């Protein structure tokens, strides 16, 4: 014959949990099956959507009117991938009129929800009972973000709903790589009464299921709903400062990275702009931007921005800003070496880049030298016509050499050097 046994301690604690829930039964809960995730911009932030309501009928996913008037605060936990950018405040907007609920980020809430839900899960296992909300929060691999609401007052017999849409920025993967997803989330919640003896500013403390609950403690539960969504992410990295001559073109090569687990990743359109007035910036799909500098540009450092925008309605964008330095090309005229046997001179010219060096002038044979990079070129100064005849008769002739350097990209720079040619 079996004997009646005294209830085990875990079961007693669960009964205390149920009693605390009943004491706060007029408050607000998550509406069943309301959690949903979207990525409205195609890339970037994920929108976490859910509904709060009075007295939810879990099976019917509807709301019922509360049975008493109570002032209370809500505890809200949203679990997200580690490193996600969480909003500072979240607003629950009333459906069909009423007062909004404002949630403010609170680290105590996250800590307490995690500790309380872990204890509740353990107690439920020991009692071999299935208890709604007894699954610990946050789930493994996710980071818990906590929020505490402003003070709310329920109205006896009034059914209410509030919708929440909170945007969380995608985390940055190792090495500043894009986050490929998926993005997972899980909700947890709690509530506590506010009264003349229980201030809304008191520390947050969830019931731990170890002894009888206190009036100051919050009724907290673990994971109630969980979802995940495939996401897309675009990251653009700016390169080092580029150099360009006035009137030239310069390629600015941004680093572009894209990752996605979305069923249909969005197409990305790239555009480029510059702070240099009159400059033309053209973007390619590989992240390379070509900046064309006007001939009347003033030397200085300017910015160029590459923006990638998802091609969906209200598509989100990712961008980066690089710098480029505009200068005028400069040449440095060096020494002159005379060749008296031939009646010519060799002029050393230091050029700043790839381009073409030209020597010309009245009574001179036009000469050209090409450079593939910055270097010192030697160009020959040679007389012709009447100047050559004078050189041959008098043994010397003074000439004015016009030295011009045209960079492979940019305006030309010119200088003049007077040289006395000698022939003997």
Whole-angstrom distance, CA of residue 141 vs CA of residue 105: 21
pTM for this entry = 0.80
* Per-residue pLDDT band at 65 (split at 50, 70, 90): low
Report the SS3 class of residue 308: strand
Whether residue 138 has a cis bond before it, omega within 30° of 0: yes
Express as a percent the part of the chain with pLDDT over 90. Answer: 71
Distances (CA, A) of 21 to 113, 192, 237: 15, 10, 51
Mean pLDDT (whole number) for 129-134: 59
Whole-angstrom distance, CA of residue 10 vs CA of residue 16: 10
Dihedral, CA of residue 193, residue 198, residue 203 and residue 206, to nearest 10:
-40
* Per-residue pLDDT band at 263 (split at 50, 70, 90): very high
Q: Which domains does the chain have, with CATH numbers?
A: 9-229 (no CATH), 232-327 (2.60.40.10), 332-422 (2.60.40.10)
For 12-59, what is each residue's pLDDT tens digit? 444 444 444 444 344 678 888 999 999 999 999 999 999 998 865 555
Region of poorest pLDDT, from 131-145, 234-248, 251-265, 382-396:
131-145
Cα 84-85-91 angle, rounded to 5 deg:
120
User: Residue 111: its pLDDT value, please?
Assistant: 96
């Amino acid at each position: 014959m079996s004997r009646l046994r005294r209830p085990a301690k875990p079961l007693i604690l669960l009964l205390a949990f149920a009693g605390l829930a009943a004491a706060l039964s007029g408050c607000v809960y998550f509406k069943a099956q309301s959690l949903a995730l979207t990525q409205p911009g195609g890339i970037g932030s994920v929108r976490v959507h859910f509904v709060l309501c009075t007295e939810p009928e879990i099976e019917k996913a509807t709301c019922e009117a509360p049975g008493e008037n109570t002032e209370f605060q809500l505890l809200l936990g949203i679990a997200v991938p580690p490193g996600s950018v969480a909003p500072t405040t979240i607003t629950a907007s009333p459906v069909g009129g009423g007062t909004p609920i404002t949630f403010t980020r609170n680290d105590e809430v996250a800590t307490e929800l995690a500790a309380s839900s872990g204890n509740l899960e353990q107690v439920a296992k020991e009692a071999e009972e299935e208890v709604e909300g007894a699954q610990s929060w946050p789930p493994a691999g996710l980071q818990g973000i906590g929020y505490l609401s402003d003070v709310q007052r329920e109205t006896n017999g009034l059914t209410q709903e509030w919708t929440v849409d909170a945007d969380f920025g995608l985390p940055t993967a190792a090495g500043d790589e894009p986050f490929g997803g998926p993005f997972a989330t899980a909700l947890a919640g709690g509530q506590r009464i506010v009264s003349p003896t229980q201030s809304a500013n008191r520390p947050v403390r969830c019931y731990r299921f170890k002894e009888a609950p206190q009036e100051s403690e919050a009724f907290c539960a673990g994971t109630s709903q969980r979802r995940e969504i495939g996401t897309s992410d675009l990251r653009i990295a700016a390169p080092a400062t580029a150099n360009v001559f006035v009137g030239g073109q310069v390629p600015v090569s941004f680093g572009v990275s894209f990752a996605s687990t979305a069923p249909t990743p969005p197409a990305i359109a790239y555009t480029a702009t510059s702070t240099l007035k009159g400059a033309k910036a053209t973007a390619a799909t590989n992240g390379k931007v070509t900046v064309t500098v006007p001939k009347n540009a003033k030397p200085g450092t300017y910015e160029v921005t590459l923006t990638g925008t998802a091609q969906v309605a209200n598509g989100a964008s990712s961008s980066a800003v690089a710098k480029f330095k505009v200068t005028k090309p400069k040449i440095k005229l060096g020494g002159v070496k005379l060749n008296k046997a031939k009646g010519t001179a060799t002029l050393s010219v230091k050029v700043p880049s790839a381009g073409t060096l030209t020597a010309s002038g009245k009574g001179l044979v036009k000469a050209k030298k090409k450079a593939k990079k910055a270097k010192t070129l030697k160009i020959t100064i040679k007389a012709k016509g009447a100047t050559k005849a004078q050189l041959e008769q008098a043994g010397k002739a003074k000439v004015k050499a016009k030295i011009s350097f045209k960079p492979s990209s940019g305006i030309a720079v010119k200088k003049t050097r007077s040289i006395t040619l000698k022939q003997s």
